[in-house]
Every structure is written in C-alpha cells, then in structure tokens.
Amino acid sequence: MLGYHSADEIRAAEAATGDLLASGVLMRRAAAGLAGVVAAELRARRGAVYGSRVGLVVGAGDNGGDALFAGANLRARGVAVTAVLLAPDRAHAAGLAAFRRAGGRVVDALGHDLDLVVDGVVGLGGSGPLRPAAAAVFEHVRAPVVAVDIPSGVDADTGVVHDPSVHAAVTVTFGARRRAHILAADQCGRVECVDIGIDVPGARMVALDDHDVATNWPVPGPADDKYSQGVTGIIAGSDRFPGAAMLCTGAAVAATSGMVRYVGTAAGDILSRHPEVVAAPDLDSAGRVQAWVIGPGAGTDDDAADKVHSILATDLPVLVDADGLTVLAAHLDWVQQREAPTLLTPHAGEFARLAGAPVGSDRVTAVTDLATRLGATVLLKGRITVVADGAGPVLVNDAGASWAATAGAGDVLSGLAGALLAAGLTARVAAASAARVHAHAAILAARGDDDTSAGAPIGASDLLAAIRPAIREMRSVA
C-alpha cells in the first residue's frame, strides 16, 4: 500500500523538524537526492555522468533552490550545468551562490544540446498553469525533463494538469509522495521519493498494490463449498443489451469460486457460454445470494426501476452500475436509507446524474462528497479510479494504460467487484481490488501472448478473458 499526501501534510511534517527546515538542511538533503537521481538518469541514458549537459529552469521559490543546489552537486561530478532564472532577483540566494561557486553558468536561454532538463520552476507553492516566461522556455525543450517535486503546472493536491504544464520523464519528490503523483501519474512519469528525514502521518489517500490485492483476493479453502464463499447475484441485460449481462456475469464467474446467479432476459445466452451460472426468470425465484449487482444494460423503464428499488430494500450488499445508476438518480433516498453496504460505480456521465453536477477538476473531493451525501461507497471510473466512502482513506488506482476505455469494460468491472462484495470484502476494498485487476487484465489483453508487445486495441470480451491471467499473476507475487 502506498500513501499519497496533501501539500499541507507535507508542509506540517517539514515544519515539525524545526531547525532542520530553518537551517536549510532539508533542502540540502533534497538537492543531494535530486542530483543522485539526475546522475543515475544520465548514466542510464548516455552511459556516463561526466561530460553530460544539464539545463535548469529555476523559479523564485524553494523549488528553484533545490534545482540550484542539485546543479552545484552535478557540477562536482563533471556535468556542464546551465540555468535559466525566471525571476533573477528572487532566485534562492544560497542556492544560486553555491551553483555559481561550483562553476554553474546562468544563461538567458537553454541550449539545444542538453541531455536532461531539470524543472525547478515551482513545486508545492504553485498554482495554475505555467506562467508565460516558464512556458516559453519549455516550448523549446526537447530533452527529457526531471521535475523537482511536482511537474510545474500540475496541482499538488487535485492533480489537475493545467495548460501549459511540464510533462516529466521522472519526478523526484521528498519525504513522501504527493497526491498529484498518482492523480496525474502520466504527467509525472516515474516518481522517485528521496528520504530527507521527515516524519509524515498516515495518508488519507492510498493506493493498493498487487500484493494487497492478491492477499485480499478470495480463494477457496479446505472447508469451503459452493455456498460458503458467497453467492453473487447479477441483474443485468435486456432484449436490447444482452451483451452487458454476458460480460458482467462472466466477470463474476471468473473472479471467485462459489456460485453466480443470474436474473434477467439474457439467461439463454449466458447459459450457453457459462453453464455453471444458475439462472432464474425473476427475483422471486432467484434463490439466496450474499450480494447483488444490478444495472448493466438492464434498462431504465418502470420494471427496471422496481427491481432496483426491491434490491436496495434488502439488507444485502448491493452494487449499482450503469442503467441502475440512471434510475437511482431520481431516487437517492433508496440508497440513503440503507444500512447494508452499497457500492455505486459511475462513469463521469452517471456521476453527474447522481450528484446533480459534473465531476469537475477536483475528482477526489467530488467523489468523497457524493459518498458522504449518499452514505455509500462511490467508485468513479477512468484512467485514475477513485473510491471513497466518506470515512476511510480514499483509494486510488492508476490503470497504467488506457486500453480499458472500450464499450462494455464497465460491465466487466461491476461483475468483478460484485463477486468480491459477495465474498465478504468491504465495499472500498472490493471496489479498489476489482479496479486494479481490471486494469491489469486490460494490459495483458492488449499485449497478447508477447511480453514485449506494445499492445493493440481490445474489446471488453478480450478484457474478460484476461481476468483469470491477471488474478494469477497478482497472486503469484503475494
């Protein structure tokens, strides 16, 4: 599990070191770590540190100070270092003095022959897009960028990527990861966290890793039978959308052992593909389950709404997705009155229907607010999945690629998460674990049989077929 911290949490941890902050010791440690990462990057990219060329883009605050001290350190390793000062009168004085003493040169514009550029424009103190002077410098940068703390122009807490902003190959941060490092993961590139001896509290935003997912994943034990592992009930599909039922039910079958029940009009198709599913024409004859998934392709007419109402009136865990969410948007009290766990899995459009307003740029706050208002767990889909229940830490997953942005992929996700709910995982952990396996399955499916493949587009059926290989790979690391 990795934690991601807010700017306030980081600043408080730095302030708590007292003299270490005031005397500049923290900055020296940060700069030494930064220089170490830049040197390693130079070695990896051109085979040597000595004789390479690095350009610094230096803002008016301590972020620029880090860059200047690191520049001095790199000079001592035989690197030719030049610096553009965006605010020459306000550049970090001690950093600039050290840089000059070490033989660093201040220039008006960066050269075109640089091996790396260091973005020391702005870090935790930034807001909004890159200002014009900084943007003008980066417009001509072709070399890979190492960002100090945060790529400039990216908001540290919300991860909003302003335009223009810096796109980094590597981001070097200090003491603990910032929220932007996962919320804007693609913009940050690889994130290296340097220890500077600060003590940060437990994070309010965390990401499960493969090991967490694997250790939580339910597998049958010696005393288990088909009922004891939790039976998943799926209410999905319609004459118009039978495929949603196939994908959702298929994912539940792939996710766990035990039993999957299906209620709806697609029973014939489902049984021909998944004969292990126990199908029933209506809720009354469905049999007992430990959690319900309702909504994918299920329609929004009165009959569909009645089903959503009946299912939410049970005291079982319920996952509502897709059409179920559209129905729910007009009946939020059906969720608010529940005591059993409820997991809602909207994409951005469904989220706007539920919340009454678009997600906006601060996705984490938006999801947390909706979860709190509804007394439910909300999973917001996308490249970065956000799961909040309004009480525990927010769980975030970076899919690492966007192959899952394909029709029907959401139906696979709800089947997966529903099966985990039935197995007894909490709604937050079920949601975040399903998102991580789903994302990994998309990558495996896109890659095909070739480990080194750059990937090719997939459909949701391919993603479904890769669920078991994804679970297998994750379990093999645990």
Ligand X SMILES: NC(=O)C1=CN([C@@H]2O[C@H](COP(=O)(O)OP(=O)(O)OC[C@H]3O[C@@H](n4cnc5c(N)ncnc54)[C@H](OP(=O)(O)O)[C@@H]3O)[C@@H](O)[C@H]2O)[C@@H](O)CC1
Ligand Y SMILES: Nc1ncnc2c1ncn2[C@@H]1O[C@H](COP(=O)(O)OP(=O)(O)O)[C@@H](O)[C@H]1O
Binding residues: 62-66, 119, 123-129, 149, 152, 244, 297, 347, 381-385, 410-411
Please give the structure tokens belonging to residue 161. 């990527």
**Residue 433 Cα distances to 122, 213, 333, 420, 423, angstroms:** 35, 5, 28, 8, 13
119 binds, among K ion, ligand X, ligand Y, none (CB under 5 to 8 A by kind): K ion
60 binding ligand X? (CB under 6 A):
yes
The DSSP symbol for 368 reads H
Q: Which stretches of 23-180 are assigned E, i.e. beta strand?
A: 53-58, 80-85, 105-106, 116-120, 145-148, 170-174
Cβ within 8 Å of residue 221, ≥6 positions away: none
Q: Pairing state of beta strands 384-388 and 377-380? A: antiparallel
Nearer to ligand X, 29 or 307 (CB): 29
Q: How far apart are the first and last CA of the chain?
A: 13
From the annotation, which residues make up the binding site for AMP? 381-385, 410
What element of type H or E holds 93? helix 93-101
Nearest to 440 by CA among 419, 418, 412: 412
Per the document, the length of the chain is: 478
Residues 288-327 that bind ligand Y (CB under 6 A): 322
Query: Between 122 and 205, whose beta carbon lies closer to ligand X?
Result: 122
Instruction: Decide if residue 462 touches ligand X (CB under 6 A).
Output: no
60 makes contact, choosing from ligand X, ligand Y, K ion, none, with CB < 5 to 8 Å by partner type, with: ligand X
Q: Nearest distance from residue 94's CB to ligand X, in Å?
A: 12
Q: Using CB distances below 5 to 8 A depending on partner kind, what does residue 130 bind out of ligand X, K ion, ligand Y, none?
A: ligand X
Tell me, by CB under 5 A, how many residues bind K ion. Answer: 5
Of 102, 109, 23, nearest to 70 (Cα)? 102
Q: Which residue is nearest to ligand Y (CB)?
A: 410
375 near 427, Cβ under 8 Å? Answer: no
Per CB under 6 A, 200 contacts ligand X: no
Q: Which is nearer to K ion, 3 or 123 (CB)?
A: 123
CB nearer to ligand X: give 165 or 414. Answer: 165
The rounded distance, in Å, linking the Cα atoms of 288 and 226 is 12
Q: Which of residues 125-184 bind ligand X (CB under 6 A)?
A: 125-131, 134, 148-149, 152, 174
The mark string for 397-436 relative to ligand Y (x by CB under 6 A, - otherwise) is --x--x-xx-xxxxx-x-----------------------
- Sheet architecture: strand order including 377-380: 2-4, 205-207, 394-398, 384-388, 377-380, 342-344, 318-320, 291-294, 231-235, 259-263, 278-280
* Closer CB to ligand X, 30 or 214, in the complex: 30
Residue 62: name its binding partner from K ion, ligand Y, ligand X, none (Cβ under 5 to 8 Å by kind). ligand X
Between CA 202 and CA 206, with CA 204 as vertex, the angle to 5 degrees is 90
Among 28, 75, 428, 438, binds ligand Y (CB under 6 A): 438
244 is a site residue for ligand X (CB under 6 A): no
Among the listed ranges 41-49, 121-129, 228-236, 469-477, the one in contact with ligand X (CB under 6 A) is: 121-129
Nearest in space to 37 (alpha carbons), one of 130, 137, 141, 174: 174
Site pattern 355..394 for ligand Y (x: CB under 6 A): --------------------------xxx-x---------
Should residue 123 be labelled a site residue for ligand X when binding is judged by CB under 6 A? yes
Tokens of 312: 């939410």
| Extended beta strands in 111-159, E state | 116-120, 145-148
The footprint of ligand X (CB under 6 A) covers: 14, 21, 26-27, 30, 59-64, 66, 121-131, 134, 148-149, 152, 174, 196
The footprint of ligand Y (CB under 6 A) covers: 322, 347, 381-383, 385, 399, 402, 404-405, 407-411, 413, 438
The footprint of K ion (CB under 5 A) covers: 119, 123, 147-148, 152
